[in-house]
A and B are shown apart, each in its own frame.
Chain A
Amino acid sequence: IAGITQAPTSQILAAGRRMTLRCTQDMRHNAMYWYRQDLGLGLRLIHYSNTAGTTGKGEVPDGYSVSRANTDDFPLTLASAVPSQTSVYFCASSEGGRAADTQYFGPGTRLTVL
């Protein structure tokens, strides 16, 4: 693994189903982030984690949950998917400790909720 990986690459999901998007980084970065990107809108922060064992809410956290059991993994769970959660989801990481660190992005997961 080099950098950040996300799985799945794409997914079509029925409304009401539970879904976990996976994110793994091998850069030993402390901070990790989940964004969604919708056409015509900027990236919007869903949840973040400044270090393993801690998480925080971003701009649009409703309907999503995260966990950070270790440094490398930061899964995002949709407990009961709704069509408005159709989007491209990007996971990102940064070294952490210094707030102006560059964020490095995974390749994204394209999610369609029907």
Chain B
Amino acid sequence: GQNIDQPTEMTATEGAIVQINCTYQTSGFNGLFWYQQHAGEAPTFLSYNVLDGLEEKGRFSSFLSRSKGYSYLLLKELQMKDSASYLCAVLDSNYQLIWGAGTKLIIKP
């Protein structure tokens, strides 16, 4: 079966750095997405990785290792507005997105 694993919840302090991990087992791989979802709102796109390595975009970076079936989202200089759920999704061999359940990130002052 296809499986995406993420921690259910994480807590971090404003101004700090947090790393949210995602491991996957899917039938094929055509890329990995990270989305942000604030409570009661729609998911919004953060990043896409298809090759191994680190992609940096401002305070957010995303890393991929295809051989390990592993990705992480790194958030630096955390702000209160970063409190949200972070969704990992993998594009499988049929080009359908398989979604993880999401990681709820709580930022404390």
On A, residues with C-beta under 8 Å from B are 40-45, 48, 58-59, 90, 99-100, 102-108
Inter-subunit contact B101/A90 (CB<8 Å):
no
Would you list 22 pairs from A and B whose C-beta atoms are within 8 A, ordered by A residue? A40-B101, A41-B101, A42-B4, A42-B98, A42-B101, A42-B102, A43-B43, A43-B89, A45-B96, A58-B96, A59-B96, A90-B42, A99-B30, A99-B91, A100-B30, A100-B48, A100-B91, A102-B45, A103-B45, A104-B45, A106-B42, A108-B42
Q: Using Cβ atoms and an 8 Å threshold, which residues of chain A touch B18?
A: none
The tally of residues in B whose CB lies under 8 Å from a CB in A reads 22
Given A100-B91, A105-B44, A107-B41; 10 other pairs, CB 8 A cutoff? A42-B87, A42-B89, A43-B43, A100-B31, A102-B33, A102-B48, A104-B45, A106-B42, A108-B41, A108-B42
**Among all A-B residue pairs, the 5 with the closest Cβ atoms:** A42-B99, A99-B95, A105-B42, A43-B99, A102-B45
| B12 located at the interface, meaning its Cβ lies under 8 Å from any Cβ of chain A in the complex | no
Main secondary structure of the interface of A (DSSP, over half): loop
Docked Cα-Cα span, A45 to B91, in Å, equals 12
Which positions 60-105 of chain B face chain A at CB distance < 8 Å? 87, 89, 91, 95-102
Q: Check A100/B43 contact, CB under 8 A, given A41-B101, A42-B99.
A: no
Q: Which residue of A lies closest to B43 (CB)?
A: A105
- Per the 8 Å Cβ criterion, residues 26-55 of B in contact with A are 30-31, 33, 41-45, 48, 50
Return chain A residues, CB-CB under 8 Å to B91.
99-100
Q: In the complex, how many angstroms separate the beta carbon of B86 from the nearest chain A beta carbon?
A: 12
